Amino acid sequence: MNTQVATAPNPTSPSQRPNATLTLNEGYFARRTWGDWLFALLAVIGGVVAFQRYHASMDVYEKAILAGTVPVVIWLGWFWRPLRQLMLVVAALSLLAIWSYQGPQGQADLGRAETVFWLKYFLSSQSAILWMSMIVFMSTVFYWIGMFARKQSGTFEGIGSKLAWVAVTLALVGTMVRWYEGHQLGPDIGHIPVSNLYEVFVLFCWMTTLFYLYYEAQYRTRSMGAFVMLVVSAAVGFLLWYTLVREAHEIQPLVPALKSWWMKLHVPANFIGYGTFALAAMVAFAYLIKQQAHETRWYKLTPIWLFGIALCFVPIAFRQRNVGEAGGSYWLGYAIVAALIVGGILLGRKRIAERLPSFEVLDDVMYKSIALGFAFFTVATILGALWAAEAWGGYWSWDPKETWALIVWLNYAAWLHMRLMKGLRGTVAAWWALAGLAVTTFAFIGVNMFLSGLHSYGEL
């Protein structure tokens, strides 16, 4: 077994990029183009306009968050330029939706979502999120078609990648418009849409996809998308079911414990961790598939069998909790699709292994995803403790959600410690990262299903 893998060099370092013009003496700001400065100007203007229009509804903490968001947005647009186009398109479509909600007298009228064509079918929050859901499935299908295509032209993977960008765009538009719609329902109803399972699943979908697209660009390989988009598609599947049985897309007032500015920081930081941990797990799964591509003994193909068992456990768990009843045959369909996926991976593992990038690249993406997720998850845990002190009078109460968050943190802290101090690589690291997905999933969903506590506002 391959248990030691060297770290891959960064293929996008200045010394390796064609036509690189950077020098060691060149300053950071000196390297900015006119496009960078124009984007920065637009970000500042956007922040000023937002402050002028909404400052009366903001407390001092929210004003500080807005002020801090502007330089972060600028830095992100400079750090990875595709984000610049993404943010500009999302802003333009969101403003179009907001403008479309304005009635003849200049007053917002949410009823126009049923009469204005592009609101009804594309830009209202629910329409945009439903489009995101469908396009995520389409993206996943195209990535897998590319994986099994006879010629490695990259055409299908390219379509899958473009569709993934469209899905991220629509998810963000849906989130921004939902935020606006909530405020139009009433001053006590509007809130940043990260407060319930429906909203955080949308957050998880676009964050995980966006982080994957970054690694796709950095390593110049699209074959990992077939695996990463599987976990995003699974999240979309849950989102659609949850919408069906709970009408979760309806905007509801916040419960008292969530009426805090801490939520705006804690939840997004938490889901950067969840998203990157899930990404690392699927890359680890790809690593193990590549490693066992030529294994002929069926009982040795443990990653595939365990993946299939995990997929089949999901509908069983939901049926046992009686939350599957309202979905009718939904979970039966889920189980059939899961069986087809596992069967396809089992039969096509040799071709899949040929299309995947090297072990070094897979190992490096896995490490960087976990390191990034761990940093944000640590910040989220600290913010959560501060929020708990304000809401419940104590930093830590051993609530089931808090306990499992600590277990997740300790798991990845140990993984990183073993990597940095003991040189953990390859097979063991991949298995550990894949097992981490089970721990993370239980902390994310399982606690809500099987346990209760102070965080029961997220109960299924």
Q: What is the pLDDT of residue 125?
A: 94
- Tell me which of 6-15, 64-73, 287-296 is least confident: 6-15
Residue 309: per-residue pLDDT = 62
Bigger pLDDT: 87 vs 260: 87
Which range, of 191-195, 222-226, 272-276, averages the lowest pLDDT? 191-195
Say which residue, 263 or 209, is predicted with more confidence.
Answer: 209
Distances (CA, A) of 340 to 22, 148, 149: 49, 15, 18
* pLDDT, mean of residues 275-294: 91
Task: Read off the pLDDT band of 258 (50, 70, 90).
Answer: confident
Judged by phi (left if over 0) then psi (alpha if -120 to 50, else beta), residue 453 lies in left
Burial class (CB in 10 A: 0-12, 13-18, 19+), 187: exposed
Q: What angle do CA 121, 160, 151 make, to 5 degrees?
A: 145
| DSSP letter assigned to residue 442 | I
pLDDT of residue 186: 79
Q: Could you read off the pLDDT of 353-386 as tens digits, one per residue? A: 999 999 999 999 999 999 999 999 999 999 998 8
pLDDT of 395 reads 83
Chain centre to alpha carbon of residue 387: 23
Q: Return the pLDDT at 246.
A: 76
Distance CA 10, CA 5 (A): 15
pTM of this prediction exceeds 0.85: yes
Q: At what angle do helices 263-291 and 197-219 cross, to 10 degrees?
A: 50
Over 80: is that where the pLDDT of 224 sits?
yes
Percent of the chain residues past pLDDT 70, beyond the cut: 83
The answer to whether residue 233 scores a pLDDT higher than 50 is: yes
pLDDT exceeds 80 at position 448: no
Longest CA–CA separation in the chain, Å = 72
Who wins on pLDDT, 324 or 313?
313
- Determine the 3-state secondary structure of 314 from DSSP: helix
